Structure 1
């Protein structure tokens, strides 16, 4: 991740990461739109008054979508203009099938979802075989062992199938974080030597570490976050268009838009799609999970904002209130972690970070009697607190701050 726009003291990008002026291609943008269409479908799983089971299923399916998307995003980032367009298009179709299966994923479409996911992951793994590269910074892009529980789930019923899906994702993530970059590359080279000694490895080059285009990866992550925010606006607009236009609805609609703008300012402006994360601060294996949490929280927030329109004249159900406040709390908690990693000190963590995580939790616990619009505007204040804190700190220390 590039350090071109990083503040003083920000560590440089990973030394093995290539950097260029390349931007996201039309094919990559198309792929992102298909993936976000799945996120929009997932938001409907949280419609009404979501319970713990609904939230758990949303998190599970979102992680599957994001993982499949990231596998091809990693491939496109490294392969650049040598990417196999046909493979990307097939992967795109697989994501479209997964998105179409979401409404019926609890019943007859669960097997279609699982099968599409397996095919996408296997295809994403195979595209690396001819390149002779190892994605040591994000091994999940090449792993396929995690699809075994998904294959078994084709013959399982709920809820066993969901536990198998979770186990498959846990295996992939476990390998990704348990194996260091050096160990991943060493294991791939050792396997190549064994195949070569047996006469089976001559057709493939000696494995080398894949070189990320850091600037391009930053752009892809930011674009994905931006599109998810756009989908959140679209879901709120859709819900508002079917409701009676009253002053309460107007206040809720404006507050929802301002809240999404505040989150956009934290996650996209001068960042790589993760709130308050500076460029070049974290290696991909740490930055990418933060991006998954960020965009997953935004998808859940979109569902709660759309649902709030249905209760604009009364009070939000407990589950919906916690969904709204919890998703904002998760988003801002990621911002606290990213801000600290980007060099913000302990004073900032206590003065800015702690309030913007604790406040949404308190609102979720004690704002049950308030109107939905009032809750949304309270969350706007919380989301803008880091900006207010920086302004107050700059005046106290006599520093200048870049204009918003």
Structure 2
């Protein structure tokens, strides 16, 4: 197998084709978030997780394709994948009925296409060693079978397909994948073709993941705006709730993008391998999308000043999960143990208190408490920076 450098050495940014392709994520995230809007059923939460990860995986397959091949990306396959993702997004509204079949068919079509785009007759076959899911279709098989299986077994097959993809991500080595592709090529008639190892451009890829996170946070801003626009009466409690929601989104943005990398809170660049970074990004994006729905419910609750238990737990659970992810990512990035404690203690205790005892909290107070919980890591970073600056100033000061 030959090793080939993919893309130019200089810093790359998202192309117009990539940015246009990202528009489908705007539609998809908005539709998927409706699966948990006002729901109190764990079955709906589970279906949301499976559908979100399926949509994210299909989007990611073509995102890594554009990242690896750069300007050589073929427009028509990308646009065809975009059409498939649009069909998936539109099918979400009827996912409990016949539209579930359409969702599965569209997903299978996008995944099959994502495998085919790696075969270029003019420059051989690439093997994506950093994320084999884009080329290994075993996880698609349960989805294909589900087309002829009635509910609720259909959804269990979808979950199995997602699980298979995760197993492939963490267990199939680049060497094994290359051997499989080589054997497949050897069985074809004609001259022998050696596969080419393809690796991600990590700097460009971090930007792509960050853009998806921005899209998800943008869904939160849109949800807040729609909820405020639909409020029957604009008064002080509504304004304070809206400001708290926007402050919470800004806090999550700062943690995930300003102080994080690839949309992961407090993660430094190049600290995680793509095989860990990608599933973690999917998890964080799914949490943020569900969180955006909860914000809309909280703002709607400003009228009667009572947040339903399901909404409290959704918001609190998402903040707590993000605190755990952020603390672990920060430790992985070289931050100190005391900083992780600063993140985890309020990041877990405040959401737990809100979930168990926050039934009497007004929506604005509930959201401002979550701002404190989500922003503890930012405060710890700020004080650490100030302490470091004072130490450097002290060492540089002349003796008295």
- TM-score of the alignment, normalized to the shorter chain, above 0.5: yes
Q: In structure 2, what is the Cα distance between the partners aligned to 1:253 and 1:237? A: 8
Say which of 145, 149, 153 aligns to 1:160: 153
Say which of 228, 236, 260 aligns to 1:240: 228
Greater relative contact order, per chain length (Cα 8 Å cut-off, separation 6+):
1
Alignment match, 1:377 = 368
Cα shift readout 1:42-71 (whole Å, capped 9, x = no counterpart) = 111122243211111111110001000100
Cα separation, partners in 2 of 1:365 and 1:200, compared to 1, 3 Å: farther
Alignment match, 2:328 = 337
Alignment match, 2:131 = 138
Say which of 280, 285, 295 aligns to 1:305: 295
1:279 is aligned to 2:272:
no
Q: Secondary structure at the match of 2:138?
A: coil
Alignment match, 2:84 = 94
Q: In structure 2, what is the Cα distance between the partners aligned to 1:16 and 1:266? A: 33
CA offset at residue 26 of structure 1?
1.4
Cα shift readout 1:361-403 (whole Å, capped 9, x = no counterpart) = 33222212111111100011112111211233344553579xx
Q: In structure 2, what is the Cα distance between the partners aligned to 1:284 and 1:222? A: 14
Checking the alignment, whether the CA contact within 8 Å between 1:20 and 1:213 is kept in structure 2 is no
What RMSD in Å do the two structures reach over aligned CA positions? 2.0
Checking the alignment, whether the CA contact within 8 Å between 1:59 and 1:296 is kept in structure 2 is yes
Q: Secondary structure at the match of 1:230?
A: helix
Alignment match, 1:30 = 20
Alignment match, 1:323 = 314
Cα shift readout 1:315-339 (whole Å, capped 9, x = no counterpart) = 2111111011111222222211211
Checking the alignment, whether the CA contact within 8 Å between 2:346 and 2:372 is kept in structure 1 is no
Q: Secondary structure at the match of 2:258?
A: coil
1:48 is aligned to 2:38:
yes
Cα separation, partners in 2 of 1:177 and 1:246, compared to 1, 3 Å: same
CA offset at residue 343 of structure 1?
1.1
The alignment covers a number of residue pairs equal to: 382
Q: Which runs of 4+ in 1 moved over 6 A?
A: 15-18
Structural mapping, 1:357-396, within 5 Å: 357-396=348-387
Q: In structure 1, what is the Cα distance between the partners aligned to 2:165 and 2:381? A: 39
Q: In structure 2, what is the Cα distance between the partners aligned to 1:186 and 1:340? A: 36
Instruction: Provide structure 2 residue ranges, at least 5 long, that are not aligned to the other structure.
Output: 394-400
CA offset at residue 250 of structure 1?
0.6
Q: TM-score, normalised by structure 2?
A: 0.90
Checking the alignment, whether the CA contact within 8 Å between 2:342 and 2:376 is kept in structure 1 is no
